[in-house]
Amino acid sequence: MKRIEQGVTRPAQIAVEIDGARVMVHPGETVAVAVLASASQRFRDDRSGAARGMFCNMGTCSECTVWAAVGTSPWRRLRGCLVPVEPSLRISTRDPESRP
């Protein structure tokens, strides 16, 4: 992922966790941006196991659905393109309840 750098001022980056890996993002960016900034750039899997990616970036298609939790709060499903990142955010691209 490449961010526009010229003429843009952003707040200092914060760390979020995606599938156990640390990813740096700017406050105000969305969960979807965090996933795109990760090494895998992978959102959820479909029923055949194929990776899905974001499509509409406006909350309509649900292709960016992931699970997220802040700190020790319970996991919840959300559309990543609609939710801003926050400190202590953990993101999972698979249902955390079904992980071995």
List interacting residues with ligand FES (CB under 6 A).
Answer: 54-57, 59-64, 79, 81
**Size (the chain), residues:** 100
Q: Which is nearer to ligand FES, 21 or 56 (CB)?
A: 56
Nearer to ligand FES, 79 or 90 (CB): 79
Which residue, 1 or 12, is less far from ligand FES as judged by CB? 1
Q: Which is nearer to ligand FES, 6 or 33 (CB)?
A: 33
Give the C-alpha separation, 17 to 7, whole Å: 28
Gap between the Cα atoms of 80 and 67, Å rounded: 9
For residue 6, the minimal CB distance to ligand FES (Å) is: 27
Task: Give one DSSP letter per residue of 45-75, joined into a string.
Answer: B-TTS-B----SSSSSS-TTEEEEEETTSPP
- Least separation in angstroms between CB 30 and ligand FES: 9
Shortest distance, position 29 Cβ to ligand FES, whole Å: 14
Residue 35 CA to residue 41 CA, distance in Å, equals 5
The least CB distance from residue 71 to ligand FES, in Å, is 24
